[in-house]
């Protein structure tokens, strides 16, 4: 957390003694000071150099360590006083940062929502395609079942017809056998009559009278 954000939260929500202790352990960087006062680094450095005596009155509160500027609590307070910049400015900055963060969060959520909506559209499309495929499959199965039932009825009818034909063929064969037997019997009887007639023709009158052929 930056120096100014920590200071704002501790002054607003924290114990003043703890706040002062925490701030004493922290220093503000040049970049934080620039962000705080909304100026460029070069302008900030020039301003600090011009007012270094006022800032460091009674001690080294703003110092250059290893090429980096550091500002303690007193330096920050004195610079704020010199520039007419108080806690309201800090709060403004924090609120501005929070608004930016909220905007970024909202943008991210909107992107995520759009992606979720697109995923939902894709999922709904896949579900619709799956339902269509399932419906077509069910229709095909229904048609297949109907065709199978028709085929079974046709097969059953053909089997019945075959059985009827077989029965009729068997009956016709039996009738033909019976007719052949009758014809054979009639032929045998006719041949017997012909033999008897031949005998009668070849016999004498007396033999005919007495029945001796």
pLDDT tens digit string along 3-38?
666 666 565 555 555 445 555 557 889 998 898 888
- 88 pLDDT more than 50: no
- Cα maximum dimension of the chain: 192
What per-residue confidence (pLDDT) applies to 78?
92
Query: Rounded mean pLDDT of 140-147?
Result: 86
DSSP letters spanning 87-154: HHHHHHHHHHHHHHHHHHHHHHHHHHHHHHHHHHHHHHHHHHHHHHHHHHHHHHHHHHHHHHHHHHHH
What per-residue confidence (pLDDT) applies to 126?
92
The three-point CA angle 160-166-168 to 5° equals 105
């Amino acid at each position: 957390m930056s120096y100014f954000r920590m200071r704002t939260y501790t002054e607003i929500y924290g114990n003043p003694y703890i706040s002062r202790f925490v701030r004493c352990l922290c220093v503000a960087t040049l970049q934080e000071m620039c962000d705080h006062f909304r100026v460029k680094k070069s302008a900030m450095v020039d301003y600090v150099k011009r007012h270094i005596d006022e800032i460091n009155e009674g001690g080294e509160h703003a110092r250059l360590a290893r090429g980096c500027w550091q500002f303690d609590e007193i330096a920050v307070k004195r610079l704020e006083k010199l520039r007419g910049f108080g806690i309201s400015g800090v709060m403004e900055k924090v609120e501005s940062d929070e608004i930016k963060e909220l905007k970024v969060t909202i943008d991210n959520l909107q992107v995520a929502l759009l992606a979720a909506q697109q995923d939902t559209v894709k999922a709904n499309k896949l579900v619709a395609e799956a339902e269509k495929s399932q419906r077509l499959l069910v229709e095909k199965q229904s048609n297949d079942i109907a065709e199978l039932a028709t085929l079974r009825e046709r097969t059953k009818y053909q089997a019945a017809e075959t059985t009827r034909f077989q029965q009729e063929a068997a009956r016709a064969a039996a009738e033909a056998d019976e007719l052949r037997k009758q014809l054979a019997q009639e032929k045998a009887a006719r041949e017997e009559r012909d033999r008897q007639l031949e005998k009668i023709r070849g016999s004498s009158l007396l033999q005919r009278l007495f029945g001796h052929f």
